[in-house]
Amino acid sequence: MRSATSKHLHPVLGRRLIDWTLASLRSVEPARIVVVVSPELEDAVDGVEVAVQREPRGSGHAAATARDALAGFSGAILVVADTPLMTESVLTGLFEAHRREEAAATILTFRPEVPLPYGRIVRGDTGAVDRIVEDKDAAPEELGIMELNSSIYVFDAAALWPALERLDSDNAQGELYLTDAIRHIREAGGAISAFESPDPWAPVGVNDRSELAAIAAVLRDRINEAHMLAGATIVDPTSTWIDAGVELAPDSTIHPFTVLRGRTRVAEGAEVGPHAVAIDAEIGARVLVGPFCYLRPGTVLEAGAKAGTFVEIKNSRVGEGTKVPHLSYIGDADIGAGTNVGAGNITANFPHKPGQPKGRTTIGRNVRTGVQNAFVAPLEVGDGAWIAAGSVITKDVPSGALAVARARQENKEGYADRGAGAADGDD
């Protein structure tokens, strides 16, 4: 990945790569999950058992590292790699094939749409799996085989551990290959079966940022399709990126070039975008967001509210029917119902002294602000108040009052006739 961040911790649509893999595993309700990690990742995964591989000696060595954690376990062991696109249906099919064939080991194979440097499945004259040849060890005729090894297997525990003990590093990479365990199990008389994934994307892993982008696009399409099938409208799914934890109600509409992240929730009848970003925001019923709007964490837009063009809102509640139409920043504020915020309004909440918490601005119900207003927190504007254009409000405004906080305009009549042009360098 050429990154300071471990491959497994790279984020994709609201989850890390390893979290996507774990989600697919949990979908088939395994009795236990053991994650084999390098020492620096020992504390990176919660809610599972962890086995630490102190030295990276290959996939076979990684599998053997889990043996102590699984001491006494006698059932079927599913071994997976970093496959964020894996699905419940593929894993269920793999387990069913393993039981049906009464196999000691079952390999998940696939036929990708593009060439990939995976191990080849070599079959014998009867069609049964004879062996797996790694890409770097394959002969020219073996490189033409299109059925690939996904590095995902189901083993009977009684067959797996003795086979791992027989592994050696006599190969191009000098590693202990898990694929060689298949050969040892077959030589010991164990039955080997294979199940071809009906989804050619499900077994694909990630090894660089190009593949990361390709995986993200597939996950994007899956997430968007699920929302659309559940009743949400996504006008252009290819330009819309929605995290796994986002909730869209039926009859909500997401316009092109919109990004919804974190735990954002969009209620029925709301329209978001185009060109909108929302992170951990709550967007109520019939709310209008955008275009070109940024909703930061802690934003709550109540029913019928509007956050319009070039508006940024952070850690604020905007009341029912309240409109922030354009060119405004609302941060750390509470705005009541029915208020209209004029263009170019800003809540200035930076602490007056170092170490102080940010102030909060409270604007009441049915308030009418003017253009180019600034509200210097902490302060409170009462219900039904009016704010004159160009005012910087630093004191509380009573309900129903008009606040004017600006220099008085003064016109110098005849100024142009007194040589103002010459002063500007004109002839």
DSSP letters of 89-129?
HHHHHHHHHHHHTT-SEEEEEE--SS-----EEEE-TTSSE
Q: CB neighbours (10 Å) of residue 397?
A: 22
Quick one: pLDDT band at residue 170, thresholds 50, 70, 90? confident
Q: CB neighbours (10 Å) of residue 196?
A: 19
Beta-strand pair 386-387/402-403:
parallel
Q: How far apart are CA 416 and CA 413, in angstroms?
A: 8
**Average of pLDDT values for 75-88?**
95
Quick one: pLDDT band at residue 427, thresholds 50, 70, 90? very low
Q: How far apart are CA 43 and CA 405, in angstroms?
A: 55
Q: CB neighbours (10 Å) of residue 250?
A: 12
| Helix (H), strand (E) at residue 386 | strand 386-387
Summarize pLDDT for 44-60 with one digit per residue, the tens: 999 999 999 999 999 99
Catalogue the active-site residues. 326
Tell me which CATH code domain 209-403 carries: 2.160.10.10
Q: Which of 183-192, 255-264, 354-363, 404-413 has the lowest mean pLDDT?
A: 354-363
Indicate if the pLDDT at residue 202 is higher than 90: yes
pTM for the complete prediction?
0.91
Indicate if the pLDDT at residue 232 is higher than 80: yes
**Average of pLDDT values for 100-122?**
93
- Who has greater pLDDT, 185 or 354? 185
Summarize pLDDT for 247-280 with one digit per residue, the tens: 999 999 999 999 999 999 999 999 999 999 999 9
Contact between 110 and 150 under an 8 Å Cβ cutoff? The reply is: yes
State which fold the 7-196 domain adopts. Answer: Spore Coat Polysaccharide Biosynthesis Protein SpsA; Chain A (3.90.550)
Quick one: pLDDT band at residue 357, thresholds 50, 70, 90? confident
3-state secondary structure of 180: helix
- Cα dist from 88 to 92, 199, 261, whole Å: 6, 11, 24
Quick one: pLDDT band at residue 89, thresholds 50, 70, 90? very high
What residues does each domain of the chain span? 7-196, 209-403
Indicate if the pLDDT at residue 194 is higher than 50: yes
Beta-strand pair 120-123/129-133:
antiparallel
Q: Provide the percentage of residues in the chain whose pLDDT is more than 70.
A: 98
- Which two structure tokens, joined as six digits, stand for 169? 């590093």
